[in-house]
Structure 1
Amino acid sequence: MSVASEAYHLLNKAIYHYENENFEMAITLLDEAILLDPEIPEVHYWRGKVATHDLNQESLEVAIVELSEAIRLKPDYADAYFERGKVYIQKGEFEEAKKDLEKAIQLNPKLKEAYSLLAQIELISGNDEKAMKYLEKVSHQEGDDRYYYSLGKIFYNAGKYQLAIEQFNKTIEKNKYFVDAYVYKAHALANLGNYQEAIENLKKAIILVPEEISYFIDMAKYYFEIGKQKAKEGNNIEAAENFIKGLQIDYNLKIEKEYIPVIMKAVKELLENKNYKEALEMTDQLELILKEPEYAEFKEEFDKLKKEVMKSLPLKDKIVKFVMDIYTK
């Protein structure tokens, strides 16, 4: 077997190990191949791809060097331009990425993902129209999750929220673990006033990434918006329940003063309906809210309401409340 043949044999074995995620063996085989023949562009290309597996700055620099060498040896190497463009995106060097991706599609117009990545770069730059033009290049092909997500963001940024939701739905159909699709879909729904469905999508995002605090904060805000909607409809109990749900998630939120009487009315309606336990729970929540100095004007009215609630409670509930107050003070 010739030296070149042996080098290609090692390359093929390296590709096999790469595809099976055995990256250490892949790079070992590629190192052996490059010692045999350093002029094979595919060896440098795959060394670059293996390097991108580790997303630290040093590995990305190695990837740039290897992919650049592959391009030097094979100037029409579309895949190498494409991979180097992806590395530049990871490094945040979007202008360099754009040059490589444009060169990649010039050499191979069928590189669908390159159009999608170019669209993302234009989105980052706020160029929605250019992003749309890139995505139109693949609009007649079967889209992947990233394509639909990018298209959804374009519609979202343009304020076309229903169209955005349709694209985020397609994204999720392709990839049910695409967290940002749920998040953007939630915000699009909220912009259309559909806060309950927005909350349901944020819950799905939280299941996937439970440590992301911003999802909880947005959910709390949307509960507040539902509360305001219900208050306008005259549904005091549901309004109060949603305000409280929001506060239970993010107690830093502030209820506007105009909605304090809504909660008080809700307590009175619960008493009228003989829902004593819920009336008491809502009263306790309201008491916590009114501890803030800005709500001082409601203190006298609240004290009367609280007495009314305590007076209405069945004896057993009064005893339980009395005991709980002893242990919580």
Structure 2
Amino acid sequence: MKLRRGLAGFALLALAPLAACQSSNPATDLSRIDTAQGSAENISSLSSVIDRTPNEPEAYNMRGAAYGRAGRYNEALKDFDKAIALNPRSHNAYANRALIHRYLGQNDRAMADYNQAISLNPNYDTAYIGRAEIYRLAGRSTEALADLERAIGLDTTDPRAFYRRGLLYQASGQHPYAIEDFAASISLAPDAPYGYNGRGLSYLAQGDDENAFSDFNTAIRLDDKIAESWANQALVYEKRGENAKAFKSYTRALQLDPDYAPARDGLSRTSS
């Protein structure tokens, strides 16, 4: 896929659910750390491997990934520390540890680890994608875009690269580019709801309510436990004047996430 033009006029859209679309979902990231699942059985199996080969760095890296998938971040950090101590040139261990640091709110440490991973392997797409997310969430959009362009230029097959670049284009109002990137992320991860939510919001910004509604409904079908999807669906109902249906979808969104402001605001608009 060709590289895009730079971000122009970086202003947020006046769409209530957009902030949700721009958030990062931990489950999406953790699924990219490693193929190891975070089940007790897998962790036990990897622990047995470590017992047999206590000096094998990749065993700690894999168990750290499993701990990360299970949300056991402190244990994950210890394993990644051990993997790096045993193999200081393990670029993927640095990137894995960086991701855990980010989830713990330790962005300076995460950035240092991503920088080290890139220093060890300048062609490691995962590290560019991870570092770009730190830049993006810090409002450093130009740097985020540059890292995502680099990852995509390396022919990454990671859907996050396209999804997050789509978010940057969406936030700057470049919706045709955003829609193309969200479509690319969907093609790489057709069972993940986030690309559909992102593309739906850009369709909605262009006045294409029908395609937006279809994407939001697909996101709900794929995972009906995401508040953003229900609030996005409600927004289309609201635009159509179907306030009773909108109220019901906003209510569902708030049940899933009581702190989700777009759903709370939408509920207030459609309650009468």
Give the TM-score normalised by the residue count of structure 2: 0.72
Q: Which residue of 1 aligns with 2:83?
A: 33
The answer as to whether partners of 1:60 and 1:91 remain within 8 angstroms in 2 is no
Correspondence 1:158 to 2:206: yes
Correspondence 1:193 to 2:237: no
For residues 158 and 38 of structure 1, do their structure 2 counterparts lie closer, same or farther at Cα, with a shift above 3 Å needed? Answer: same
The structure that has the greater radius of gyration is: 1
Question: Secondary structure at 2:56's aligned position in 1?
Answer: helix
Q: CA deviation at 1:144?
A: 1.7
Q: Which residue of 2 aligns with 1:83?
A: 130
Correspondence 1:10 to 2:60: yes
Correspondence 1:68 to 2:118: no
2:196 to 134, 148, 161: 148
In the aligned structure 2, how far is the partner of 1:215 from the partner of 1:197? 13
Question: Secondary structure at 1:210's aligned position in 2?
Answer: coil
For residues 222 and 34 of structure 1, do their structure 2 counterparts lie closer, same or farther at Cα, with a shift above 3 Å needed? Answer: closer
Aligned pairs for 1:220-299 within 5 A:
220-223=268-271, 246=272
For residues 71 and 212 of structure 1, do their structure 2 counterparts lie closer, same or farther at Cα, with a shift above 3 Å needed? Answer: closer
The answer as to whether partners of 1:15 and 1:46 remain within 8 angstroms in 2 is yes
Q: CA deviation at 1:65?
A: 0.6
For residues 172 and 214 of structure 1, do their structure 2 counterparts lie closer, same or farther at Cα, with a shift above 3 Å needed? Answer: closer
Q: Which residue of 1 aligns with 2:47?
A: none
The worse-fitting range, judged by mean Cα deviation, of 43-52 and 167-176 is 43-52
The AA in structure 1 aligned to 2:121 is K
1:173 to 216, 221, 226: 221
In the aligned structure 2, how far is the partner of 1:201 from the partner of 1:60? 35
Q: CA deviation at 1:213?
A: 6.5
Correspondence 1:19 to 2:19: no
In the aligned structure 2, how far is the partner of 1:24 from the partner of 1:33? 14
Q: Which residue of 1 aligns with 2:167?
A: 120
Q: Deviations over 1:273-299 (max 9, x none)?
A: xxxxxxxxxxxxxxxxxxxxxxxxxxx
In the aligned structure 2, how far is the partner of 1:152 from the partner of 1:60? 30
The answer as to whether partners of 2:73 and 2:100 remain within 8 angstroms in 1 is yes
In the aligned structure 1, how far is the partner of 2:80 from the partner of 2:59? 10
Unaligned ranges ≥5, structure 2 = 1-53
Name the % identity: 20
Q: Which residue of 1 aligns with 2:181?
A: 134
Higher relative contact order (CA 8 A, sep 6+): 2
The answer as to whether partners of 2:99 and 2:130 remain within 8 angstroms in 1 is yes
Question: Which structure's residues are more often helix, by fraction?
Answer: 1
The answer as to whether partners of 1:206 and 1:215 remain within 8 angstroms in 2 is yes
For residues 188 and 50 of structure 1, do their structure 2 counterparts lie closer, same or farther at Cα, with a shift above 3 Å needed? Answer: same
In the aligned structure 2, how far is the partner of 1:110 from the partner of 1:169? 25
Question: How many residues align structurally?
Answer: 219
Q: CA deviation at 1:14?
A: 2.6
The worse-fitting range, judged by mean Cα deviation, of 96-105 and 26-35 is 26-35
